[in-house]
């Protein structure tokens, strides 16, 4: 289960701030994320700032969100240009190729924090949706990921979300996936500028919509 891959999608214009911070930061973290290009709908972002995580004394916005599949529904909405209430209107008008995918694993992103309840959380749906069931202790998180992996030929992974409280250091990111050579070269130059050695790979299938 710990080897299960997780994915953080962001617009390439946000990468510089991520590299400058040396980490992926939560929207309501300390310090907070300040994306240059915000893909989230304002209403969705505000709701995540008010939706609480049980037994963690925190809101969903205090966590860095990861998808559990490169075919997650919210990412596919961007890839296909399909309106989604979680996304800003402009987000589905931009090319999928203008985004990058930061790849980690459950174990790497969690690190030692798995020993503290509420530091790593899994939801079978968008964690801010009313009624979402959140697994917030490591045993429950592990079981939830296994359950989502086995559900409906991957459908569970396409809807699920993993949250890591506060921040995820860049060294815990194994790979940055991009859509083409031009973006790869731009990302490599940005990494070199800050002395980071994260691997960059061109993987076009992750940037194609479900109908392509």
Helix, strand, coil shares, percent, the chain, to 5: 40, 25, 35
113 known ligand binder: no
Q: Which of 62, 119, 158, 161 is catalytic?
A: 161
Q: Which of 48, 79, 86, 114 is catalytic?
A: 48
Instruction: Tell me whether residue 143 is one of the annotated catalytic residues.
Output: no
* Two structure tokens written together for 165: 């409280």
8 known ligand binder: yes
The separation between the first and the last C-alpha atoms of the chain, rounded to the nearest angstrom, is: 30
Instruction: Tell me whether residue 93 is one of the annotated catalytic residues.
Output: no
Task: Check if the beta carbon of residue 69 is closer than 8 Å to that of residue 63.
Answer: no
Task: Check if the beta carbon of residue 5 is closer than 8 Å to that of residue 103.
Answer: yes
25 known ligand binder: yes
Task: Please tell me whether residue 103 adopts helix, strand or coil conformation.
Answer: strand
73 known ligand binder: no
The three-point CA angle 207-209-212 to 5° equals 110
Write out the binding residues for NAD(+).
8-10, 25, 48
Catalytic residues: 48, 161
């Amino acid at each position: 289960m710990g080897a299960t891959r997780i994915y953080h999608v962001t617009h390439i214009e946000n990468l510089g701030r991520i590299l400058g911070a040396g980490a992926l930061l939560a929207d309501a973290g300390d310090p907070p994320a300040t994306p240059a290009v915000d893909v989230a709908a304002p209403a969705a972002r505000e709701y995540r700032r008010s939706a609480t995580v049980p037994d963690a004394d925190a809101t969903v916005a205090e966590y860095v969100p990861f998808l559990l599949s490169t075919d997650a529904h919210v990412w596919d909405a961007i890839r296909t240009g399909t309106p989604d209430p979680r996304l800003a209107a402009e987000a589905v008008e931009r090319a999928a190729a203008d985004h990058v995918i930061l790849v980690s694993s459950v174990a790497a992103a969690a690190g030692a924090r798995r020993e503290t309840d509420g530091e790593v959380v899994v939801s079978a749906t968008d964690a801010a949706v009313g009624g979402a069931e959140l697994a917030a202790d490591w045993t429950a998180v592990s079981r939830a990921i296994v359950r989502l992996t086995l559900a409906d030929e991957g459908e569970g992974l396409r809807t699920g979300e993993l949250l890591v409280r506060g921040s995820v250091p860049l060294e815990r990111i194994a790979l940055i996936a991009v859509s083409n050579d031009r973006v790869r070269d731009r990302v490599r130059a940005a990494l070199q500028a800050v002395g980071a050695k994260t691997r960059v790979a061109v993987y076009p299938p992750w940037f194609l919509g479900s109908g392509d």
